[in-house]
Amino acid sequence: MTTSRLKLVATALVFGLATAIPSVDAAETSSQKVCSTCGTVKHIQVIEEKGKGSGLGAVAGGVAGGLIGSQIGSGTGNTVATVAGVAGGAYAGHQVEKKVKTKKTYKITVQMNTGKTRVFTQEEEPAVHVGDKVKLVDGKIVPR
C-alpha cells in the first residue's frame, strides 16, 4: 500500500468511514492488464481427410499378389490363383495407399481473455486439452 492510501485508511477508520473506501483487492485488480494473447481451450475438433490413391499402391499390390498367386497350384489352378492374387493384391495395395495418405487436421477453439473466440488450425496433434490455459506465441498455441 502506498503512503497516501495508508493515510486515507487511517483517516477513514478514525471517522468511521471504512465502508466508503474500496478494498485493496478491487484497487489492485482494476490496475491489472488483461493478457490479450492468453485464453482457455474450449474445443478441439479432429478433421480427417481421406487419402486418395494414385494407382501406385494398386500396381505394387497387384505385382505382389500375382507373384504370391503364381506359387500356388499348377496348370489352370495356377492361372486362377495368379489372377486372384493380382486382383486381391491390387485392391489391398490401393486401400493401403489411401490409408497412408490420410491427413488429420486439428481445429482448436480458444476463448481469449479479451472475450473474443479464436479458432486455430494445425496439422500436428495439439499439446493442449480442453480446459487448458494457453498463450499465443508466434502464431502457435502453447500451454501456460
Place of cell 500356388: 72
Whole-number pLDDT of residue 38: 95
Whole-number pLDDT of residue 20: 47
For residues 117 and 109, the answer to whether their CB atoms sit within 8 Å is: yes
Please give the model's pTM, rounded to 2 decimal places: 0.51
- Rounded to whole angstroms, the Cα distance separating 128 from 144 reads 10
The per-residue pLDDT for range 98-138, each reduced to its tens digit, is 677 788 899 999 999 999 999 999 999 999 999 999 999 98
- Rounded to whole angstroms, the Cα distance separating 126 from 122 reads 8
DSSP for 34-72, please give it. Answer: P-TTEEEEEEEEEEEEPP---SHHHHHHHHHHHHHHTTS
CA of 118: how far to CAs of 1, 57, 59, 108, in Å?
Answer: 38, 40, 45, 8
Confidence of residue 26 (pLDDT cuts 50, 70, 90): very low
The per-residue pLDDT for range 39-67, each reduced to its tens digit, is 999 999 999 887 776 777 667 776 776 67
As given in the structure block, the three cell numbers for residue 29 are 485488480
Burial of 49 (0-12, 13-18, 19+ CB in 10 A): exposed
- Rounded to whole angstroms, the Cα distance separating 64 from 126 reads 38
- Rounded to whole angstroms, the Cα distance separating 78 from 76 reads 5
Does the structure show a pLDDT above 70 at 95? yes
